[in-house]
Chain A
Amino acid sequence: MFDLILTQTLNGLASASSLFLVASGLSIIFGVTRIVNFAHGSLYMLGAYIAWTLVSRFGPADALGFWGGVVLAALLVGMIGVVIEVLILRRIYQAPELFQLLATFGVVLMLQDLTLATWGAEDKLGPRAPGFKSFVILFGNRFPTYELFLIAVGPLVLLVLWLLFQKTRWGTLVRAATQDREMVGALGVNQRLLFTSVFFFGAMLAGLGGALQLPREAVNLHMDLAMISEAFVVVVVGGLGSVTGAYLAAILIGILHAFGILIFPKITLVLVFLVMAVVLVVKPYGLMGKAPVGHARGHGPAEPLLLPADNLTKLAGLIGLAVLALAPLVAPDHILLTLTELVIFALFAASLHFMMGPGGMASFGHAAYFGLGAYGAALAVKWLGAPMEPALLFAPFLAGIAGVVFGWFCVRLSGVYLAMLTLAFAQIAWATAFQWVEVTGGDNGILGVWPSSWAASKFAFYYLALIICAASILALRLTIFSPLGYALRAARDNPLRSEAIGIDVMRIQWIAFIVAAFAAGIAGALFAFFKGSVFPTYMAIPRSVDALLMVLLGGVQTVSGPIVGAFAFAGLSEQLMKATMYWRFVLGFSIVLLVIAFPRGLVGASLLGLERWRGRPEAAAKPVLATEAGR
């Protein structure tokens, strides 16, 4: 038993090394540039692919060929990081955090398809490392020497990083920028060069992490997302910006994995995110992290005032609704199906907007509540034998209850930490659905969640969805202009002043969180009956990103934006998926363009254009006022 514990500890330490390399790069980049680089997992994957190509070309049996290939691959990935930084990220350092996160997610999508196009879809089994092909006997078990080598790499890199940061001018600048980058800029340091070099360095570490995996596992196209979600956990648990913290967290997660397999083989995925949530709740800035100086909150442009609809807007909304209501009379079946989906997504987007726009709480895991709504409906049908009507009523409460619990913790944080905690909770929900096979069916999902016979026709279900979604969206809209909505916006714009005039900020935000979760649950339940089945993918990261994209495409600072955004995004991505095999690339590219060119979203941009065209003097004055208020 004792020997098994020791061996499994070593296994955990070996897996921790690659995780640490990726996570430390991510952490350094965040510390200096304040960008949470979603594409870091993709750089890790590229490292593995490039190393595979180089090593096969240089001759895998030759020590120089192998190690030369690995090092060169890491350097090349560093260069790719520089290209990404110069072409994309440099333009969005001033944008709100969420936009940056989205832009890097766009890069993930693009790199996924570029990798597919370059290396093909087949898995690549790399060669074993020369000099490390064998094993040693440790504690009565055979243990691969390469794993021992990996165990040594972690502390070695940590040492190098420490020397670099303590003993060189560059390292000092990086540490200074991590503490207060405005001050570093004010003191005359070339920020551009610093940021680019940091990005090169971080990307190189990720590439090295990938290249070192070559003898360990087959290189494949799913490495990027698998790694990035773990690396996020490590960085957040360790404390954003702290390299030592990242090392401790990587070891913690690696060992947790190794023993999880031994003790709880069926809940390994949940364990990791559970640890992350617990750490964030107990130590919001991670094990070794410090509360950020100055920039706890986003520093994007201040939010403009929201105004209740004037008559023209009401008319437009009414016409839009009328068109949707009359559409089934002329639309063929497949258009009707698309419209049903769009209507449901509009509610999903509106619910996210409610907490993100007026609430100022950017959620990176909103799919959890959509998925819980869907699972609520499906579980009611499967385990309680409920027909559609009670299941539809029950489902949003499951999402709402999750909102009560998760929200209570989330509203205690703000900005990127809040987004990370919502992500952790969403991943817990996802992992539970994925691994609790007895109840949720795991990866098989729950099938046979079909509507009652009166609503089974496409025609009837469309009207059911339209009525429920339109009513819910209107209710959300009314809430935004209710006293609760005003209090919420006050809390977003200035928490201190709001507290001073007697608004319980956390409570208001908590309520908004719950309302948003509940509304997303309604959308999810409808979606379950619409598709007839639910799967864990309903609450996976890509669905949360979809929701964010819909809101941002429409514009966060407008009330109708998310609805327009939902129609634009869902319509576009469906057409794309049919039109080209490389739809991910096109979608990713559009996201990046959107973030760079239309940071206010479609509705926001058109509103701005309209105001300029009308030349209203008060419109010009408004942003100034809003900026003042935002401070």
Chain B
Amino acid sequence: MTIDRRNFLAGASAGVTLIAAPSLVRAQGTGPIKVGEINSYTAQPAFLKPYRQGWELALEQINAAGGALGRKIETVFRDDGGKPEDAVRHAGDLINAEKVDLLSGGFLSNVGLAIADFALQNKKLYVASEPLSDALVWAKGNRYTFRLRPSTYMQAAMLVEEAAKLPAKKWAVVAPNYEYGQSAVKWFKELLKKAKPDVEFVAEQFPALGRIDAGATVQALEASKPDAIFNVTFGADLSNFVRQGNTRGLFEGRVVASMLTGEPEYLDPLGAEAPVGWIVTGYPQAEIKTPEHVKFRDAYMAKFSDYPRLGSVVGFDTMNSIAAALTKAGSTDTEKLVDALKGLEFPSAFGQAEYRAVDHQSTLGAYVGRTAVKDGKGVMVDWTYRDGAKYLPADDVVKTLRPAG
């Protein structure tokens, strides 16, 4: 390689000046508090667009009321595209270049686990909003990670409570082949066997996330002639699965217990093809009349002229719980924030909830009901709210599940 010496030296010295230029030193305690929010905005838009809107609604309300610690709160949004590798890169950049005070977000469970591991190594707080895997707070739980949504364990427990009442003995399962699907299936099987020892699981299908070959999968499940089916797929996989299942009669005479299918983000795209009579966890947004929810829903509709999805609630609650933690800690210091979050009570759109000190899991609950089709649209009927606190194992069991303590 030959490079003109003069040009090279000029370039090199320019480079050094650039690197040496005094970076903006932010005086602690005067500027806004920065939250680094990493999520799969382009990979999972159905959930995350409403999520971001719910987040922005909460942020607007908090900052209008003076922010936290007398400072405004500011968010730096980053898109991980559904890839843990990118999430980790963004996390590093947010901490080192953007100097954020804490991390939040995560949609897919594997992404959440990757950020949690990163947070532990770098001793930075991570408030996981959506990743559902129980490993996030139990097997791989750590001091710096807290999680808002009810976990795979909790939602499986809610569904098992209903599933155990059915006469069905032979079950088949279909789940996306990554952390969330594996974890949901594991708990559903374990809890259902405990509740009803004579059940057996006759078929398992684990299509790769977003790549289900629905016709063949439906046929493989049909071939095992199950009495009932446990479904964990969501999004595009769910749409394809339901359409093929409907045409091929997989659901006829069979009950399906299904994670998340009652959430408007997954139920609405199915339109009139939405399944009927499935036992689901979800969010009957138009019908919840508690004062907290009505207030939230009205404010959301006024700001965005659209009804909230479950993502909106999760974004809204995550931001509110972060603000509550900041106020309680009285500081942006990571260790103080972690201590403040343990046992922190915060207002949510579903009522008061708490981050448990024992495993950093919040007690936010979920709605369980049956699906139906009304006016050409999928809806939830016969639903009830299940408080998350009631669907967690006893504290001494939790301690054995969580090596980090």
Chain A interfacial positions (CB closer than 8 Å to B): 4, 7-8, 11-12, 14-15, 116, 120-123, 125, 128, 133-135, 141-144, 147, 216-218, 220-222, 226, 257-258, 261-262, 265-266, 268-269, 309-310, 312-313, 315-317, 319-320, 323, 327, 330-335, 337, 434-435, 437, 442-445, 447-448, 450, 531-533, 535, 537-538, 558-560, 564, 578, 581, 603, 606-607, 610
B110 x A444 contact (CB < 8 A): yes
- Residue among B3, B20, B210, B213 making CB contact with A316, cutoff 8 Å: B3
- Tell me the complex Cα distance, A8–B41, Å: 36
Which chain B residues border A435 with CB–CB below 8 Å?
177, 208
- For the complex, would chain A's binding face be called helix, strand, loop or mixed by DSSP majority? helix
A578 x B5 contact (CB < 8 A): no
Extra pairs beyond A121-B45, A334-B97, A603-B1 (18, CB < 8 Å): A125-B270, A141-B219, A216-B243, A257-B216, A261-B207, A315-B5, A316-B5, A330-B20, A333-B97, A434-B208, A435-B177, A437-B182, A444-B84, A445-B84, A535-B85, A581-B79, A607-B2, A610-B4
Which chain A residues border B92 with CB–CB below 8 Å?
334, 337
- Tell me the complex Cα distance, A8–B218, Å: 10
Which chain A residues border B23 with CB–CB below 8 Å?
332
- Tell me the complex Cα distance, A429–B352, Å: 48
A316 x B1 contact (CB < 8 A): yes
Specify the chain A residue showing the minimal Cβ separation from B3: A316
Looking at chain B, what size class is its interface with the partner chain?
Answer: 35 or more
- Tell me the complex Cα distance, A120–B207, Å: 25
B247 x A220 contact (CB < 8 A): no
Whether A533 contacts B84 in the complex (CB less than 8 A), given A8-B216, A442-B177, A448-B117, comes out as: yes
Segment at the interface with A among B191-199, B233-241, B367-375: B233-241
- Residue among A144, A262, A444, A538 making CB contact with B248, cutoff 8 Å: A144
- Residue among A220, A266, A319, A535 making CB contact with B177, cutoff 8 Å: A266
Which chain A residues border B32 with CB–CB below 8 Å?
none
- Tell me the complex Cα distance, A261–B85, Å: 28
- Residue among A218, A258, A447 making CB contact with B269, cutoff 8 Å: A218
- Residue among B5, B178, B206 making CB contact with A266, cutoff 8 Å: B206
Which chain A residues border B327 with CB–CB below 8 Å?
none
Chain B interfacial positions (CB closer than 8 Å to A): 1-5, 8, 12, 15-16, 19-20, 23, 41-43, 45-46, 49, 79, 83-85, 88-89, 92-93, 96-97, 109-110, 113-114, 117-118, 121, 140, 177-179, 182, 204-211, 213-217, 219-220, 222-223, 235-236, 239-240, 243-244, 247-249, 269-271, 273
A265 x B205 contact (CB < 8 A): yes
A123 x B3 contact (CB < 8 A): no
Which chain B residues border A559 with CB–CB below 8 Å?
1
Which chain B residues border A607 with CB–CB below 8 Å?
1-2
A531 x B1 contact (CB < 8 A): no
Whether A443 contacts B219 in the complex (CB less than 8 A), given A123-B269, A135-B249, A144-B244, comes out as: no
A309 x B1 contact (CB < 8 A): yes
- Tell me the complex Cα distance, A588–B308, Å: 36
A125 x B3 contact (CB < 8 A): no
A144 x B223 contact (CB < 8 A): no
Q: Whole-angstrom distance from the CB of B381 to the nearest CB of chain A?
A: 22
Which chain B residues border A335 with CB–CB below 8 Å?
19
B93 x A265 contact (CB < 8 A): no
Which chain A residues border B236 with CB–CB below 8 Å?
123, 217-218, 220
Q: Whole-angstrom distance from the CB of B39 to the nearest CB of chain A?
A: 12
Among A133, A221, A444, A610: residue with most chain B CB under 10 A: A444
A330 x B19 contact (CB < 8 A): yes
Q: Whole-angstrom distance from the CB of A456 to the nearest CB of chain B?
A: 9
Which chain B residues border A266 with CB–CB below 8 Å?
177, 206
The contact sample of 28 A-B pairs, CB cut-off 8 A, is A4-B219, A7-B219, A8-B216, A11-B216, A116-B42, A123-B235, A123-B236, A128-B243, A133-B247, A142-B249, A144-B247, A144-B248, A147-B215, A216-B243, A217-B236, A218-B240, A261-B213, A262-B223, A266-B206, A309-B1, A320-B12, A332-B19, A333-B97, A532-B88, A532-B117, A532-B121, A533-B114, A537-B83
B179 x A444 contact (CB < 8 A): yes
Which chain A residues border B205 with CB–CB below 8 Å?
261, 265
Which chain B residues border A330 with CB–CB below 8 Å?
16, 19-20
Whether A15 contacts B213 in the complex (CB less than 8 A), given A125-B271, A535-B85, comes out as: yes
Which chain B residues border A450 with CB–CB below 8 Å?
121
A444 x B1 contact (CB < 8 A): no
- Tell me the complex Cα distance, A438–B121, Å: 24
Q: Whole-angstrom distance from the CB of B43 to the nearest CB of chain A?
A: 8
